[in-house]
Homo-oligomer: A and B are copies of this chain.
Amino acid sequence: MGRHREFDVEKALDAVLCVFWRKGYEGASYADLTEATGVERPALYSAFGNKEALFRQALARYYERYLDFIPEALQLPTAREVAAHILYSAADLHTRYSRHTGCLGINGVLAGSDEAEPVRQALIDARAVGEVQLRERFERAKAEGDLPETAKPTALAAFVMAVSHGMAVQAKAGFSRDMLEAVAEQALSTWPTGSSELSGQSP
């Protein structure tokens, strides 16, 4: 019983996500959030909790809705394809929406006041999870002969993530998708080859 909720929680969260994407955690005010969602403050509080909880839910949604190319990539047959899929998908994502470029996980809180420290840590942790998965995937590739014995999975994973993060920063500076794809291509041109494959220029 009781009165029904008049707004769509999922849609509100999507709108919130976009605001955080563009403005970061501390840069987004409740004035922004209510305007974007069309939902009054108290309703946001009752539906999502406080600002930090709201951001965490938006972040989770971001990972499942926008960073789904990472689990997708991990299932590809070769390490090079994994890396290529991640880099080209990132180039696309970071420039797909002109109103919120770059990456929520990076824009969020690279820096901020001390009060935002827990949120910053949450972003760092989330980022680390992806990197670990990537490293494990490259370790497998090495075991499978897909990467040479001399390859360092940890460094390769860090490298792919670094390029992706760098593209996110450049997207924030207004880089075009084509430019980011050129960066991805250059990054992949350095890809080590295993025993069973020859390297080549990217697509």
Residues of A at the B interface (CB closer than 8 Å) are 22-24, 26-29, 102, 106-108, 110-114, 116, 124, 127-128, 152, 154-156, 158-159, 161-170, 172-175, 179, 182-183, 185-192
User: For residue A112, which residues in chain B have a CB less than 8 angstroms away from its CB?
Assistant: 23-24, 26-27
Complex contact A183–B155 (CB within 8 A):
yes
A-B contact pairs, 30 of them (CB 8 A): A22-B111, A23-B112, A23-B113, A23-B114, A24-B110, A27-B116, A28-B113, A102-B111, A106-B169, A110-B172, A124-B173, A152-B186, A155-B179, A155-B186, A158-B170, A158-B175, A159-B182, A161-B166, A161-B170, A162-B166, A162-B167, A162-B170, A162-B183, A165-B166, A165-B170, A166-B166, A166-B169, A186-B190, A187-B187, A187-B190
A191 to B187, CA, bound (A): 9
14 new A-B pairs (CB below 8 Å) besides A26-B26, A159-B182?
A: A23-B111, A24-B110, A27-B111, A106-B169, A107-B111, A124-B173, A155-B179, A158-B170, A158-B179, A158-B183, A162-B183, A163-B166, A166-B169, A187-B187
